[in-house]
Every structure is written in structure tokens, then in C-alpha cells.
Amino acid sequence: GADLPKKAMRDVNMARRLLEIGQFDESVKFAQKALLIYPVAEAYTVMGKSYAKLGNCADAEQAFAQALKLDPKDADAVAGKGSCK
């Protein structure tokens, strides 16, 4: 129901915290967990940032693209797109 986006955002917030402390693999796992609950742009954005930090540019680009499909105004996804070289 209506609570699914909220539940997904809990995992997104955990993914963000893990990203901040350098736990990039764990961050990706929580972002993926969030996406299993509900497709929120923020999950793809955090996943993209984590993949970029891991040097996995192909997956980072794909994640940022998915985020922008869901939310074309996602500033972090716009900034991330093309940042991983």
C-alpha cells in the first residue's frame, strides 16, 4: 500500500549512511533491498554513487539513468551521470 515508499526509504537512508562511511558494497545491497520493496529514484542514485566509488562505471551509469527515469529532476543523479570515468 501507501507505506511501501516509506519502507523503501528506510533502506535508502541506511544505504546513504553506509555510502558516507565508505561501506560501498553494503550500500549497494541496501539500495537493492529498497528497490525490491518499491522503485524510488533515491535508491538508484545512492546505488550509482556507490558503484562509482567502487569503480564500476557501467553499473553506476545504469543506476543514474534509472534514477532519472523515475525522477528527471534528481540533482544527484544528474550530477552523477557521466562523472564515473
Instruction: Give a three-class secondary structure readout of 15-36.
Output: HHHHHHCCCHHHHHHHHHHHHH
How far apart, in whole angstroms, are the C-alpha atoms of residue 76 and residue 37?
22
pLDDT digits (tens, 9 = 90+) for 14-47: 999 999 999 999 999 999 999 999 999 999 999 9
Q: Tell me the percentage of the chain whose pLDDT exceeds 70.
A: 98
Query: How confident is the model at residue 1, as a pLDDT?
Result: 57
Residue 7 near residue 42, CB atoms below 8 Å: no
Query: How confident is the model at residue 84, as a pLDDT?
Result: 86
